[in-house]
Amino acid sequence: MSDSALAGVVAASITPVTADFKIDIQRLRTHGEHLLDCGCSFISTFGTTGEGASFSTAEKIAALTELKAQGMEMGRQLPAVMTPSLDDAVESLLAYGRLGCRAALVLPPFYYGASEAGIAAFFDALIARTETQTRIDLVLYNIPQLSRHRFTQPLIARLIERHGTRIAGIKDSTGDLDNGLMLVKSFPQLRVFTGDDRVLPVLVRNGGAGMIGGMPNVFASELKALFDNPNDAAILNKQARRIEAVDTHGSLVALKAALAHYRNDENLATAMPPLLALSREERAMLVELIEQTGYRAAA
């Protein structure tokens, strides 16, 4: 699986946590196995939906190490690097390579208003300090609304020119179809993913690789069906309504609330501070909106 094509529906997994805010390994494993059984190609742990910026590098590596020890197929893992610290990014990338993960989803260094040259320098240093020990593929994570930085066409071209096939793909979480299509056209050597269900069908019809997103946490089977049948307007309409419901109720905490409801497991609703779980009233409103789309049971 380690050499398998980067394509399909990649679930940006939520991270179950315990009452004392530790990663709940058993629930994470059970959830990941369920997502793969529902047709997801890969699991992306510890990204935005996985609250990756709220856990330490050591916690995330320890969790993935334990998942491997318990028999999880690491060649179907695409964990995120969510840190502005070069040392932490290096440590993460080396661990992901050592564990046999398929690729790493890498956020640009946030906090400082870095120039494109500065972001390129960060990737230069990250690759220089790891390439003798791992050649794991890198997938760029374009989410400027949170990272404050955009992977522009010139910046991507610069990284490919310097690092070639190490830059294997990009996740575009802008929700901008035109930007996704530009990426497909400009960089045919990259696997281009969207983070938005509503962009998925057109992107796939135009050569995109698929999606890396949070909605498969609850709707994996439907999104696999949409990936396989990108002209299915009925599925697209339902998913558009569902993503609107989730986004208006807190995004990842809404996904956790929906999972807690449909799996009958309140532990799944717990979020890492500073995020807070939905109230009972908020969850009821969310579930009502989801069920208005015809959804009744976990996918």
Q: For 239-289, what is each residue's pLDDT tens digit?
A: 999 999 999 999 999 999 999 999 999 999 999 999 999 999 999 999 999
**Confidence category of residue 146, pLDDT binned at 50, 70, 90:** confident
- Contact (CB, 8 A) for 163 and 123: yes
pLDDT, residue 147, reads 86
Confidence of residue 110 (pLDDT cuts 50, 70, 90): confident
Residue 19 clears pLDDT 80, i.e. is over it: yes
Q: What is the pLDDT of residue 191?
A: 97
Higher pLDDT, 218 or 111: 218
* Catalytic, out of 15, 49, 96, 171: 171
pLDDT, residue 197, reads 95
Q: What's the average model confidence in pLDDT over 50-75?
A: 97
DSSP, collapsed to helix, strand or coil, labels residue 287 as: helix
Residue 262 is among the residues annotated as catalytic for this protein: no
Q: What is the reported pLDDT for 296?
A: 80
pTM of the model: 0.94
Assigned CATH for 8-229: 3.20.20.70
Does residue 141 have an active-site annotation?
A: yes
Query: Hey, which residues does 142 pair with through a beta bridge?
Result: 172
Question: What tokens does 132 get?
Answer: 């003798």
Domain boundaries, the chain: 8-229
Per-residue model confidence (pLDDT) at position 29? 97
What is the 8-class DSSP label of residue 23? B
Query: Is the preceding peptide bond at 274 cis, omega within 30 degrees of 0?
Result: yes
> Residues of the chain with pLDDT > 90: what percent?
94
Catalytic residue among 15, 45, 48, 130: 48
Residue 104 vs residue 113, higher pLDDT: 104
| Catalytic-labelled residue, pool 49, 83, 141, 256 | 141
Q: 48 catalytic, yes or no?
A: yes
3-class secondary-structure state, position 63: helix
Q: How far apart (Å, rounded) are the C-alpha atoms in residues 132 and 128? A: 8
256 is catalytic: no
Whole-angstrom distance between the N-terminal and C-terminal Cα of the chain?
A: 24
Chain mean pLDDT for the chain: 95
Give the pLDDT score at 299: 43
pLDDT of residue 111: 82
